[in-house]
Amino acid sequence: MIAGIDHFVLTVRSVEATCDFYQRVLGMRRLDEPNRPTALLFGSQKINLHEVDRTFEPKAKRPTPGSGDFCLVAAVPLAEVQASLAANGVAIEVGPVERTGARGAMMSVYFRDPDDNLVEVSEYRLT
């Protein structure tokens, strides 16, 4: 019944700080449209951003900055992601470590965004 994920929402303290981080560190593209949440585009998905005091309806029951914990699949080798993290002063909390994703074995690094959401970026192993 479900084919994939189109988007998810992050509640953030500052849309500007969040966009700066994800654009600079992970190469996402910002999209602003009238009367719509600001979005970060990557691959064929997006992250909608709701600023904590300016959310859109409908929304989560208790939207809270820093409650996100998600995994993104890298479009480049994980070493390039690690280099971007280092160049931007982003500390890796865990990794690289082996994990199992929806499609099998992968290597992952974990770090925090400006709201302390836990971000995992992974590279699937070649089989």
Q: Which of 62, 19, 20 is nearest to 37 (CA)?
A: 19
The domains located in the chain, with CATH, are: 7-124 (3.10.180.10)
Residues assigned a catalytic role: 120
pLDDT tens digits, one per residue of 46-65: 999 999 887 677 788 888 99
pLDDT band at 117 (very low <50, low <70, confident <90, very high): very high
What's the mean pLDDT in 85-104? 96
Is the pLDDT assigned to residue 127 strictly greater than 70? Answer: no
pTM for this entry = 0.92
pLDDT, greater one: 69 or 125: 69
> To the nearest whole number, what is the mean pLDDT of the chain?
93
Q: How many CA atoms lie within 13 A of 74 on its CB side?
A: 24
pLDDT tens digits, one per residue of 2-21: 778 899 999 999 999 999 99
What is the DSSP annotation of the chain? ------EEEEEES-HHHHHHHHHHHH--EEE--TTS-EEEEETTEEEEEEETTB--SS--SS--TT--EEEEE-SS-HHHHHHHHHHTTPPPSEEEEEEEETTEEEEEEEEE-TT--EEEEEEEPP-
Is the pLDDT assigned to residue 85 strictly greater than 70? Answer: yes
- Residue 127 amino acid letter: T
Is the pLDDT assigned to residue 115 strictly greater than 90? Answer: yes
The pLDDT of residue 121 is 97
pLDDT tens digits, one per residue of 18-32: 999 999 999 999 999
